[in-house]
Amino acid sequence: MPREILKINHYEKVNFCVSFSAYLYPPPRVLGNQLVDNVLIPVSYIYSPDNGKTKRTPASILISCYYESNLSSIFVTFTSELESVDVEVNNQSTGEYLSGTISGAVGTQILPISGTAGFYTIYFTLSNGAQYYGEFEI
């Protein structure tokens, strides 16, 4: 009987992981007669100014984003209220560079880019100095 319980628990964990990853990745959509291709941009936490406190838990990622090819835009979603966010987008293949400041209000901001094929990096710097990083290829 303990084996059956382990199998059920294992199944539930696998099922949770699959549904969680499907939630994070934006599904392809149809816009008019054209299929919109979405590219997930994984965002990592890379720096936080030292405030003298010992960190005991991993940093939460307050930013998620994806690239939508039909609009040649990066959709940035903030999961927590932030003041302002400095954004830098760099196409490593062509040298194109975009920078600016966007509102950190909860919700989605749209960053139009050229849509030129290449390997892109994106940096987010919050008003408190914390930094996030992502990379993607189109």
* Coil, helix or strand at residue 9: helix
Residue 29 has pLDDT above 60, yes or no: no
Q: Give the pLDDT confidence score for residue 104 in this predicted structure.
A: 84
| Mean pLDDT calculated for residue range 66-90 | 90
Q: Which segment of 6-15, 66-75, 90-99 scores lowest on mean pLDDT?
A: 6-15
Give the three-state DSSP class for 59. coil
What does the mean pLDDT of the chain come to? 74
Collect all residues with Cβ–Cβ distance below 8 Å to 51 and sequence separation of at least 6: none
Q: What is the mean pLDDT of residues 116-133?
A: 91
Contacts of 95 (CB under 8 A, 6+ apart): none
What are the structural domains, with CATH classification, of the chain? Answer: 28-137 (2.60.40.3080)
> Are the C-beta atoms of residues 132 and 123 closer than 8 Å to each other?
yes
